[in-house]
């Protein structure tokens, strides 16, 4: 066990999994928490009603970037986490930790952005909290949002329901958010402008569920990117997942930036994309529903699920453009700090 907290413990990769397993689960791991989904689904009444509940904190720097800001991230991130359960997100809470000296105009700009994102998603911000810390102790602004929504009767999603033979989809191009944040932070310029993909995806998820009721799960590939997300799902379900590299959608500018900076685009964070695992006979219907949504125009079917080999346990494999196959591992350490 690590003796101190390091940046890598917030990466979404193997170090983060370790601190969750060895500290948080060990101290208070309920059955709902140990399921490992983006939102907990909780019984609401004796008639079978369920409530989806999730929380997230946002510490990104810079606070404003092409395609969004910390306020838009805070709303979209929690809306998306609640929606992965198949719930209809309805209500958000918002907690601000403000640093003394933070410009009031910037705070107003962030709040306006949050209001716009909430309106787009169709949710209400109904309660909140404000704390102010001494100058030099808060990096301007941190935001926590929690969200709740009703799960329709008969809907039950989660990584534990994935089965051999299922197909894996992604709702659009990968790496947009992480590389945009890095380009802003390091003042990098590229031929094609980069922009964060931050977006509320609850309507896209609802469209997919209407077209393909046999969706097994949705998962938000934020910190740790697609690679870490698929490894989490493989372990959760005890299966192998094979991804076709040639089918993974990536914008040329993002791929070029990753090549230049030495990043694996499959480990770079996303804030407006969704991984979907669905029964094979409904994969095309799910894909068509994604592509019909403005936030899913670049959706692609990227892989499939098979039984895990007994001699090594669940793994994620990448079949490269050259025809070789290699293991696709979780992110180790911190690739891009403070991306959400």
User: Residue 335 has which token pair?
Assistant: 């690739």
Q: What is the pLDDT of residue 5?
A: 87
Q: What is the pLDDT of residue 15?
A: 82
Domains detected in the chain: 50-155 (3.30.1330.10), 159-327 (3.90.650.10)
How many other C-beta atoms lie within 10 A of the C-beta of residue 127? 11
Candidates 320, 297, 173, 316; CA nearest to 246 is 320
Q: What is the pLDDT of residue 244?
A: 97
Q: What is the pLDDT along the chain (340 residues), one digit of tens a residue?
A: 688 988 888 777 778 888 888 888 888 888 888 888 889 999 887 777 799 999 999 999 999 999 999 999 999 999 999 999 999 999 999 999 999 999 999 999 999 999 999 999 999 999 999 999 999 999 999 999 999 999 998 899 999 999 999 999 999 999 999 999 988 887 777 777 899 999 999 999 999 999 999 999 999 999 889 999 999 999 999 999 999 999 999 999 999 999 988 899 999 999 999 999 999 999 999 999 999 999 999 999 999 999 999 899 999 999 998 889 999 988 776 767 778 8
User: Residue 263 has which token pair?
Assistant: 């990043």
Backbone angles phi, psi at 200, to 5 degrees: -80, 130
CA angle 230, 232, 234 (to 5 degrees): 65
124-133 and 88-99 strand pairing: parallel
Residues 74, 59: Cα–Cα separation, whole Å: 9
Residues 193, 133: Cα–Cα separation, whole Å: 36
Backbone angles phi, psi at 248, to 5 degrees: -80, 120
Answer yes or no: are the C-beta atoms of 141 and 107 closer than 8 Å. yes
Residues 233, 20: Cα–Cα separation, whole Å: 16
Residues 194, 236: Cα–Cα separation, whole Å: 34
- SS3 category, 2: coil
Residue 126 CB partners (closer than 8 Å, separation 6+): 91, 92, 93
Candidates 131, 144, 136; CA nearest to 98 is 131
Residues 227, 264: Cα–Cα separation, whole Å: 9
User: Residue 90 has which token pair?
Assistant: 């309805």
Alpha helices in the chain (DSSP H): 14-19, 25-28, 31-34, 70-83, 104-121, 176-185, 202-211, 225-237, 252-261, 283-292
Answer yes or no: are the C-beta atoms of 272 and 173 closer than 8 Å. no
Q: What is the pLDDT of residue 335?
A: 66
Q: Which residue has the tokens 């993909």?
A: 197
Residue 188 CB partners (closer than 8 Å, separation 6+): 182, 257
Q: What is the pLDDT of residue 1?
A: 67
Answer yes or no: are the C-beta atoms of 205 and 218 closer than 8 Å. yes
Q: Which residue has the tokens 């990043």?
A: 263
């Amino acid at each position: 066990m690590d003796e101190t907290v390091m940046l890598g413990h917030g990466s979404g990769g193997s170090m983060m999994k370790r601190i969750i397993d060895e500290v948080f689960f060990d101290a208070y791991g309920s059955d709902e928490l140990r399921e490992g989904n983006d939102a907990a689904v909780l019984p609401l009444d004796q008639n079978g009603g369920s409530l989806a509940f999730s929380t997230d904190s946002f510490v990104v720097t810079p606070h404003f970037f092409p395609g969004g800001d910390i306020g838009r991230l805070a709303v979209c991130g929690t809306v998306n986490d609640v929606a992965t359960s198949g719930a209809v997100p309805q209500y958000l809470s918002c907690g601000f930790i403000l640093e003394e000296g933070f410009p009031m105009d910037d705070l107003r700009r962030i709040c306006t952005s949050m209001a716009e994102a909430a309106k787009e998603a169709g949710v209400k911000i109904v309660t909140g909290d404000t704390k102010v810390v001494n100058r030099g102790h808060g990096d301007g602004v941190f935001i926590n949002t929690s969200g709740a929504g009703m799960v329709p009767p008969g809907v039950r999603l989660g990584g534990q329901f994935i089965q051999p033979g299922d197909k894996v989809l992604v709702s659009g191009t990968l790496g947009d958010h992480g590389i945009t944040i890095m380009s802003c932070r390091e003042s990098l310029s590229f031929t094609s402008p980069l922009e964060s993909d931050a977006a509320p995806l609850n309507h896209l998820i609802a469209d997919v569920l209407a077209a393909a009721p046999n969706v097994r799960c949705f998962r938000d590939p934020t910190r740790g990117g697609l690679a870490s997300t698929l490894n989490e799902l493989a372990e959760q379900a005890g299966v192998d997942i094979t991804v076709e590299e040639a089918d993974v959608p990536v914008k040329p500018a993002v791929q070029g930036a990753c090549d230049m900076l030495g990043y694996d685009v499959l480990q770079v964070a996303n804030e407006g994309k969704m991984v979907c695992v669905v029964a094979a006979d409904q994969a095309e219907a799910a894909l068509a529903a994604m592509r019909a949504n403005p936030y899913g125009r670049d959706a692609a079917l990227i892989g499939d699920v098979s039984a895990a080999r007994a001699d090594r346990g669940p793994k994620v494999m990448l079949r490269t453009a050259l025809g070789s196959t290699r293991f696709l591992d979780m992110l180790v350490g911190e690739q891009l700090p403070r991306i959400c």
